[in-house]
């Protein structure tokens, strides 16, 4: 069976699961051993993802990493029903929305997680970073409203690539109290998206993982504090933290050796 190395809270992995479910493709989702440690990954995972990041797809002898490339592979491997629009212009627009969410928007939610789940900052620094994140999220919601316009879906009359690329991030924002405004077009769109079985199941898995952790999130925060669990600071995440006023968070993380960067290929 198709194997997707996954983390339920990863919006990148969520995109891929929604796409597979929309197309009715059966798959096994598996959390790879060693996630968060920066080392000790299981061999099968590293063979699929040399940089040690989820998601990674294993389809027989085929290995694919990076969520955008995985989505392209899924679309070409299982073309029906299509998740990309027909025209080149509409396809480009869909991919640009995906890119914006994967880089700019993801970093905001990730930064909020660093503050509220992993206690990277407290007091005035935490408040300032949270306020910046809220303002930035509001700005991106306005951009998304403009992109949606009067469409039923971001991709037009049919749920597609842009829609499945936005839903995980807006659902993530809701967890930090930053849901779209009631009565907004974007709020109505999110409600429609969350009614789709593929989106609902994927969101439920994320919520179940978070609630199932219970005090486990506190334990992870303690592991971060001790340098036993390392959070990955990819390029856009590092930029967000520094640009938003959290340079001391980065410096402290480096000193405590509880942040990591993408590993070197070996």
In a domain, 247, yes or no: no
User: Domain of 49?
Assistant: 2-77
* Residues 98/160, Cβ–Cβ less than 8 Å: no
Nearest to 75, CA basis, from 23, 12, 126: 23
Q: What is the CATH number of the domain that holds 71?
A: 3.40.30.10
Question: What pLDDT score was predicted for residue 227?
Answer: 76
Question: What pLDDT score was predicted for residue 38?
Answer: 53
Question: What pLDDT score was predicted for residue 14?
Answer: 98
pLDDT digits (tens, 9 = 90+) for 36-83: 655 667 889 999 999 889 999 999 999 999 999 999 999 999 999 999
* Tokens encoding 174: 């809701």
In a domain, 54, yes or no: yes
State how beta strands 62-65 and 231-232 pair. unpaired
In a domain, 11, yes or no: yes
In a domain, 29, yes or no: yes
Other C-beta atoms closer than 10 Å to the C-beta of 131 total: 12
Number of structural domains the chain divides into = 1
Question: What pLDDT score was predicted for residue 39?
Answer: 60
Question: What pLDDT score was predicted for residue 130?
Answer: 98
Phi, psi of 259 (to 5 degrees): -125, 155
In a domain, 69, yes or no: yes
DSSP state of 101: I
Rounded CA separation 92/96 (Å): 6
Residues of the chain with pLDDT under 70: 36-40, 213-219, 266
In a domain, 255, yes or no: no
In a domain, 42, yes or no: yes
In a domain, 252, yes or no: no
């Amino acid at each position: 069976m198709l194997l997707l190395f996954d983390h339920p809270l990863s919006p990148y992995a969520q995109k891929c699961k929604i796409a597979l479910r929309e197309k009715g493709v059966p798959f096994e989702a598996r959390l790879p051993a060693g996630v968060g440690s920066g080392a000790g990954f299981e061999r099968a995972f590293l063979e699929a993802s040399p940089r040690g990041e989820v998601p990674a797809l294993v389809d027989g002898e085929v290995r694919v990493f990076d969520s955008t490339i995985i989505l392209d592979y899924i679309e070409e491997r299982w073309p029906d029903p299509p998740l990309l629009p027909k025209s080149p212009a509409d396809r480009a627009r869909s991919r640009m929305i995906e890119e914006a969410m994967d880089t700019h928007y993801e970093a905001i939610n990730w930064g909020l997680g660093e503050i509220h789940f992993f206690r990277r900052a407290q007091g005035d620094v935490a408040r300032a970073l949270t306020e910046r994140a809220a303002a930035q999220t509001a700005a991106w919601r306005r951009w998304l409203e403009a992109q949606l316009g009067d469409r039923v879906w971001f991709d037009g009359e049919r749920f597609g690539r842009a829609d499945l690329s936005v839903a995980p991030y807006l659902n993530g924002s809701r967890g930090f109290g930053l849901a779209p405004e009631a009565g907004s077009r974007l709020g109505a769109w999110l409600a429609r998206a969350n009614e789709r079985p593929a989106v609902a199941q994927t969101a439920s898995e994320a919520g179940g993982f978070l609630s199932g952790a219970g005090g486990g999130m506190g334990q992870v925060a303690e592991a971060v504090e001790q340098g036993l669990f390392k959070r990955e600071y990819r390029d856009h995440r590092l930029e967000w933290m520094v640009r938003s006023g959290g340079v001391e968070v980065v410096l402290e993380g480096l000193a405590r050796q509880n942040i990591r960067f993408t590993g070197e290929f070996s």
